[in-house]
Copies of this chain bind each other. A is one copy, B any other.
Amino acid sequence: MNSQTSSPDMPQQPSQRLDAQLCFALYSTSLAMGKVYRKVLAPLGLTYPQYLVMMVLWEQDERSVSEIGERLWLDSATLTPLLKRMEAAGLVQRTRSAADERQVMVTLSPAGREMQRSAAEIPTGILCATGCTPEGLKALKAELEVLRRNLQQAV
């Protein structure tokens, strides 16, 4: 290990440190955010991915699984069981589309629509936990979106 630091490979070490730390920062911050969301969303009985689905449907009700997936960058392997649990919890309904029977349409139940009201405080709680200003968050968001696009183009 010490021989590594003094080897001709040393120029790579800073890159190794920096890179590892950046990715780790992303990973660990994401986990930390998840922890906050679990606490804040517990009263609603929602997990964060479920909350995302609800937001997509509140924005526009009745979407196919793949439409939801496109908005959230998730595929049906993740969404199908997730949506099934939400249906079991009485938040949504899943029905085969008559126009194209390969599609399953997801619609909000009355309880799911009503939940938007009690979910109104969620963003404030989260914003509070970030300890950031709206401007700071906006800038960070933009940077993350650039990074995400680059990463998605790399695979």
Contacts and interface: CB of A to CB of B under 8 A. Distances in A.
A114 B80 CA distance: 42
Contacts of A20: 52, 55, 123
A127 to B, nearest CB: 5
A155 B35 contact: yes
Interface in A73-89: 73
Interface stretch (A90-98, A99-107, A141-149): A141-149
Contacts of A36: 151, 154-155
Interface of A: 1, 4, 9, 12, 15-16, 18-37, 39, 48, 52, 55, 58-59, 72-73, 116, 120, 122-124, 126-132, 134, 136-138, 140-141, 143-148, 150-155
11 contacts: A1-B58, A4-B116, A16-B120, A19-B126, A20-B55, A22-B141, A23-B48, A27-B52, A35-B155, A128-B154, A140-B144
Given A23-B37, A24-B52, A27-B48, 9 more contacts: A22-B130, A22-B137, A24-B72, A27-B30, A29-B147, A39-B155, A130-B147, A131-B154, A140-B143
